Chain A
Amino acid sequence: KNSCWQVILKEGTVEPKQIGWRKNKPDKIILPYLSPIRQLLCNLFPISHSQITRLYSRFTSLDKGENGTLSCGAVRSILNYFKFSLPARSVIREDFQRIPELAINPLGDRIINAFFPEGEDQVNFRGFMRTLAHFRPIEDNEKSKDQNGPEPLNSRSNKLHFAFRLYDLDKDDKISRDELLQVLRMMVGVNISDEQLGSIADRTIQEADQDGDSAISFAEFVKVLEKVDVEQKMSIRFLH
């Protein structure tokens, strides 16, 4: 009961059997609805229980390719022939790139990168969920409770941090003019010349920069966005 979830949370990988994956119907997950577990999960990852089911099946579909009944057996037998074991369920970048909508999203590459922890090329379900947890809507009853515990992943500050990391490629906690230009260039059509873009970037930095270092630190980033409804903009309703 408790153990299957603790396995997911602790070890980050999961065997289908452990979460009640039925043998004959690999596409369905049956998860027991147990409120203590839900509590536990909500404390650790602010995501509701029913969504985990959904996201897990989505994760596995990314993993195997779209069609859930692609014969894993065939792949497995090839690999077994060469004595390679099937690695624990995880996704690599190519799996994300298979999502066509991401290909025409201007920030598609950055978003994909955000899923992968530092320097790694694959992400397991736990990491997947961890990234998605940033996008859970903030509920009112969560705001007041537990002030002294660790901040939930979907707090405003963590959401902003997530966005900041999308800009800040070299992870020096500053958005330099160059990084800003790169993102701008990705978001903008071909009709804007480099000079115009440069001046827009300059202006953006100027509006945010307070300590005069021609770069935007995280604190400055937060300040600039204090009037923007980040909670609403970075929440996906279905992760409720």
Chain B
Amino acid sequence: MLLNLQNILPSIVPESCLLILVGLLLGGIIFGAQEKSPPVMNSDVFFLYLLPPIVLDAGYFMPTRLFFENFGTIFWYAVVGTLWNAIGIGISLFGICQISAFGLTDITLLQNLLFGSLISAVDPVAVLAVFENIHVNEQLYILVFGESLLNDAITVVLYNLFKSFCQMRTIKIVDIFAGIANFFIVGIGGVLIGILLGFVAAFTTRFTHKIRVIEPLFVFLYSYLSYITAEMFHLSGIMAITACAMTMNKYVEENVSQKSYTTIKYFMKMLSSVSETLIFIFMGVSTVGKNHEWNWAFVSFTLLFCLIWRALGVFVLTQIINVFRTIPLTFKDQFIIAYGGLRGAICFSLVFLLPPAVFPRKKLFITAVIVVIFFTVFIQGITIRPLVEFLDVKRSNKKQPAVSEEIYNRFFDHVKTGIEDVCGHWGHNFWRDKFKKFDNKYLRRLLIRENQPKSSIVSLYKKLEIKHAIEMAESGMISKVPSSASLSENHEGKIKPLSPTEMENMREILTKNLYQIRHRTMSYNRHSLAADANEKQAKEILIRRRHSLRESLRKTNSLSRERPAAANTKRFLSLPKNTKLPEKLRVRNKTSSRVGDSSDSEMDAATTVLNLRPRAGKILRDQREKQQRPLPEFRMEWKNEVDGKQDGGEAHQEPSGQPQPSVGFRQPLLTRPRFGTLTGEDLPTDHRSTRPMPPPRLVRQASQGERQRNKPENQPY
């Protein structure tokens, strides 16, 4: 039964709840043993040591593309939403305090506003901890999570603003404006510091290929440095470290070795797990003790107002922002956003930071904050999952699902994902393109090292390509391979009905082996890195494509060996990848390439060319020499090719001594891999043109897919 509990518990109760309970237990023990309050979590300790790793982890693994696509909404919720909450809670609490029956009349408006501002801070730690359990769509996830990160700026500003107002005698209008201006400075300043240090980190890693072992250290050092620097200038440290992590991620990932990258990931996860655990335990410990003052009215109304204002705020804001969004937020989304606004350790620490001289009722505030935190983490954390499922009413079928259903479901999911990818999902974005241009032109040149290390899928891809090419060249395509045609032997005889166990078996086999849908963004998980499974899957798919392409090539080749017209198709290799082929050429190409599923015409060309040039090794060596060939010369060659075609293809059978025209474009003679270019393992490569577009990058971070796509097109035009 205990084991049973172990399985059920984590899915019902979010881990944060359990940790707080452990903390409570611990605190109780200490209290009981020593008869005085246990050590309260020092705010310094929290802000300086415990919080940065968590935010760093979140920022590093943040799906940047998704984040920026939704940036407007996130910003809107973070800024306006937090302001709304803070002021709303503050004023309504002040209203409550005016009622003398509750004995709270000595709390001024400003104090209430300050309290409102610190309690409205949605906490990324708590949000993350709870959202791991419920699987919401990634857009929703990024909204809540992004909001919780960004609202740190607002919280810091409001908190400091009201705190200083509380301590001032009179408040002038200009002070209020200064406060507003302060917000911008704090937020933007923090981000700038983060970005700056992110660039410095990326630049540093450019030169670290001799000292790979300490590469991870730079990542952590620079991010922490950004946090400390921002805090030193009274700017928003959280925004700084988030910006730093996001910036670093893009460039550092390409500079460091595979092993360093893995180290960084795992170490980051480890640190953030430890921090999170400590935070929650501390919260539990600090609860037990003598720092409390209980006042029914204040506490309950605080809780009530938090919930009400959050719900109202989300609702109203969503109505406004839906006008500008392409994908409007449904009611279910709104509910999750509102209900998912959990408070956590940040409010807790901020309340401990209140100067007791100015706030005689500090203990009351502490009590109220603790109650709110406990309520949100426990009650909301536990109930959010059943509520989400309840809202998601599906027409569920109680019948035992057929074996085929899983197949069909997965089939549909793959199709849907594929079409989404074709659409580019959220479409084109002017600013993003501009940034990408700038990025490619200046930043990447500066920050990323040439001579890139290769990741496993990339090397695999290259190996396959070379193997394929050499095989083609040398064997002359004689050897047979069991093709998929062998699967289609006539199946005689009746299909016998299967017993239930056999059905179960089948279903099990399918569940385990059907490919997963590619997640556009890795669903963020504090405790695990899901990348490896996807990599393996991507590898398999790639290999299989190679096989099927090879087969279709074999078929093509056996068909077209006699056709002289096929020789013309080799011209396409020399064209830049995105030249619009005139109609005539395309039509001719079509006839020779209509075999098999895939219609990669360049592959056909590759075959036929290979027929003429059996020595793949020499080809590769030739290509190496052609790396440096400047563009105009290439153009000339291309022109010659086409001219030659006009006279009839045969003349071009053996452009002997002439360098392969395709090479001028730094593309391999052999194939036109759709991911970019392929070179020999040890060729010195210019990273821009020969950069393969490795799927694992995709798996790690979807946003890179777009950039990779960009590469082959960035030819020196």
Q: Point out residues on A near B: beta carbons under 8 Å.
A: 27-28, 50-51, 54-55, 57-58, 61, 64-71, 74-75, 78-79, 81-82, 84-87, 92-111, 113, 115, 121-122, 132, 135, 163, 166, 169, 177-178, 181-192, 194, 196-200, 202-208, 214, 224-225, 227-230, 233-240
Contacts and interface: CB of A to CB of B under 8 A. Distances in A.
Contact of A200 (B416, B510, B710): B510
B430 A28 contact: yes
Contact of B425 (A111, A198, A238): A238
Contacts of A228: 405, 408-409, 412
A106 B516 CA distance: 9
Contacts of B506: 196, 199-200, 203
Contacts of A196: 506, 509
A58 B424 contact: yes
B264 to A, nearest CB: 24
A214 B491 contact: yes
Contact of B674 (A97, A183, A203, A233): A97
B155 to A, nearest CB: 32
B59 to A, nearest CB: 24
Contact of A68 (B397, B419, B433, B642): B433
B364 interface: no
A184 to B, nearest CB: 7
Given A54-B326, A192-B509, A135 B582 contact: no
B713 A70 contact: yes
B129 to A, nearest CB: 28
Nearest to B549: A109
Nearest to A85: B582
Contacts of A109: 545, 597-598
Contact of A27 (B394, B417, B433): B433
Contacts of A190: 540
A206 B495 contact: yes
A57 B423 CA distance: 10
A64 B713 CA distance: 9
Contacts of B514: 187-189
B407 A187 contact: yes
A103 B600 contact: no
A178 B488 contact: yes
Contacts of B425: 238
Contact of B428 (A54, A70, A234, A236): A54
B407 A100 contact: no
A111 B417 CA distance: 10
A46 to B, nearest CB: 15
B620 to A, nearest CB: 23
A41 B317 CA distance: 31
A233 B409 contact: yes
A181 B407 CA distance: 12
B529 to A, nearest CB: 18
Given A94-B600, A163-B412, A178-B487, A240 B404 contact: no
A165 to B, nearest CB: 11
A233 B488 contact: no
A70 B578 contact: yes
Contacts of B518: 101, 104-105
Given A103-B545, A121-B599, A233 B433 contact: no
B515 A207 contact: no
Nearest to A216: B404
Given A94-B600, A121-B586, A106 B495 contact: no
A75 B404 contact: no
Given A111-B419, A187-B414, 20 more contacts: A27-B428, A28-B430, A93-B601, A94-B577, A95-B578, A101-B705, A102-B422, A104-B542, A105-B541, A106-B541, A107-B415, A107-B418, A135-B419, A181-B484, A202-B495, A203-B506, A214-B491, A235-B416, A236-B420, A240-B326
B421 interface: yes
Interface string B377-413: 0000000000000000011010000111101111111
B319 interface: no
Given A102-B418, A104-B541, A200-B510, A238 B717 contact: no
Contact of B328 (A115, A205, A240): A240
B580 interface: yes
Those 9 A-B pairs whose CB atoms lie nearest each other, nearest first: A178-B488, A54-B427, A84-B582, A65-B713, A65-B578, A101-B421, A204-B404, A111-B418, A57-B428
B359 interface: no
Q: By DSSP majority rule, is chain B's interface helix, strand, loop, or mixed?
A: helix
A119 B226 CA distance: 58
B558 to A, nearest CB: 21
Nearest to A101: B421
B275 interface: no
16 contacts: A51-B326, A66-B710, A67-B433, A97-B674, A100-B698, A100-B708, A103-B541, A103-B674, A105-B414, A132-B422, A135-B416, A178-B487, A181-B484, A182-B484, A203-B498, A235-B416
B578 A64 contact: yes
Given A186-B544, A205-B495, A106 B515 contact: yes
A67 B580 contact: no
Contacts of B433: 27, 67-68
A108 B395 CA distance: 30
Interface size class of B (residues with CB under 8 A): 35 or more
A108 B674 CA distance: 13
Contacts of A95: 578
A86 B578 CA distance: 13
B682 interface: no
B513 interface: yes
A122 B585 CA distance: 13
Contacts of B451: none
B674 A78 contact: no
B544 A74 contact: no
B116 interface: no
A82 B584 CA distance: 13
Contact of A58 (B328, B423, B581): B423
Nearest to A184: B407
A214 B494 CA distance: 9
A104 B427 CA distance: 20
B88 interface: no
Nearest to A166: B415
B176 interface: no
Contacts of B404: 203-204, 207-208, 224
B633 interface: no
Interface in B180-200: none
B528 interface: no
Given A104-B695, A189-B513, A233-B412, A61 B582 contact: no
Contact of B421 (A65, A102, A197, A206): A102
A174 to B, nearest CB: 14
A126 to B, nearest CB: 16
A197 to B, nearest CB: 8
A213 to B, nearest CB: 12
Contacts of B635: 78
B488 A181 contact: yes
A27 B497 CA distance: 59
Nearest to B707: A66
A86 B540 CA distance: 39
Contact of A204 (B407, B430, B583): B407
B580 A87 contact: yes
A233 B423 contact: no
Contacts of B416: 135, 233-236
B203 to A, nearest CB: 25
Contact of A87 (B422, B582, B712): B582
A65 B580 CA distance: 11
Nearest to B587: A121
A185 B485 CA distance: 12
Interface in B284-339: 326-328
Nearest to B419: A135
A238 B327 contact: yes
